Amino acid sequence: MKQPFCTPAQALRRVLDAAAALPVPATERVPLDDACGRIAARDLCARMDQPPFDRSPLDGYALHSADTAGAGEKTPVTLPVVMKLYAGDAPAAALPAGCAARIMTGAPLPPGADCVLMQELTDSGEEQVRIYAQLQPNANVVFRGEDIAAGAPIAAAGTVLTPAHIGVLAGQGIPDAEVFRPLTVGVLATGSELLEAGEAWAPGKIYDANGIQNAARLRQLGFAAVEADAEIFCARKEDIPWRDQAFDAVFYQMKKNAPAFDGTFLREAARVLKPGGQLLIAVQGAPEPLCKVGELLGLCDGDDHVSPAQLLKSMEDAGLEDVSWRLAQPMVCLAMGWRRR
């Protein structure tokens, strides 16, 4: 009887469970210019209220709302203009009752003023102004901390930083952000039938598309993707074209008809892992998946059996620790271990 496929939710849960076992990547502090698309390593919070003062959202006049009582198109109220405020100015004094302050977009309200009247509802006077509308207290005022208050969260740890996050952080005067270093992922397309783009086509061959596509997607997601063009059917050192301690994790999904390695795969996988990095091997589609793992790793012949103890000892001999294996579901075997620190 065929085993049913797992649901999308089950598949996602398995991936997340495996990811949770990976080592936590190191962090680094980068300028905001380089932080977009990176993952916040800690909670990022506001240092100050934004805006840091009550301000005007439009060009007009700062007023005491009580002074506009009864104002209308046919019954204007006339007030003296006693100060002018532009964005970047700091009011030198409070606004006296019965007076107006000429104010521009973004300028702070002077103490005492509790509303702003747009200039289109006035005669735009410079020495004195005629007011044609009555206002309520707090009309047309952007209050201190209205956008974000000091201490409020901007981005939680684990958040992928977007241009919006960068803008808010910059508005706080924060010059940089602590982010996780991107994980380095090796992309290795295997198969004797594969050709690289640019090579002359030959009968029976196909061009490798999966490797390049997967590497591009990984880079889009923020990983540091390293491509290789080797055919690995025998895991000799020269066949795995990556430096020692290059990766945080090695994941290999074997198929039941995959060619067998010559027995050095485990050592090579441990070689390219960083200290504390994880090796995860999955085999599916085999009636006896644990035996298939042993066969594909070169630990036994196809007709022989490999015991769990033999598998785990081979992994330990290769330089791995905390090794384990389990049947994740019928016909799927997972073997995992971490490189010794």
Three-state SS at 111: coil
pLDDT < 50 regions, the chain: 1-3, 230-238, 287
pLDDT of residue 84: 97
User: Distance between CA 150 and CA 170 in Å, rounded?
Assistant: 14
What is the β-pairing status of strands 320-329 and 128-131?
A: unpaired
Q: How confident is the model at residue 138, as a pLDDT?
A: 97
* 217-269 confidence digits (pLDDT tens): 888 877 777 766 544 333 344 456 677 888 877 776 665 555 555 557 778 78
Q: Is 268 helix (H, G, I), strand (E, B) or coil?
A: helix
Residue 294's pLDDT is what?
A: 61
Cβ within 8 Å of residue 5, ≥6 positions away = none
Residue the block writes with tokens 């204007």: 76
Other beta carbons within 10 angstroms of residue 144's beta carbon come to 18
Residue 16: predicted pLDDT: 74
Please tell me the predicted confidence (pLDDT) of residue 114: 97
Domains of the chain: 8-25+182-339 (3.40.50), 31-48+152-180 (3.90.105.10), 60-131 (2.170.190.11)
pLDDT per residue as tens digits for the range 60-103: 999 999 999 999 999 999 999 999 999 999 999 999 999 999 99
Q: What is the pLDDT of residue 230?
A: 41
Could you tell me what percentage of the chain is helix, strand and coil, using 3-state DSSP and rounding each to the nearest 5?
20, 30, 50
Q: Is the dihedral of CA 52, 53, 57, 59 positive or negative?
A: negative
Predicted structure pTM score: 0.65
Separation between Cα atoms, residue 306 and residue 296, nearest integer Å: 11
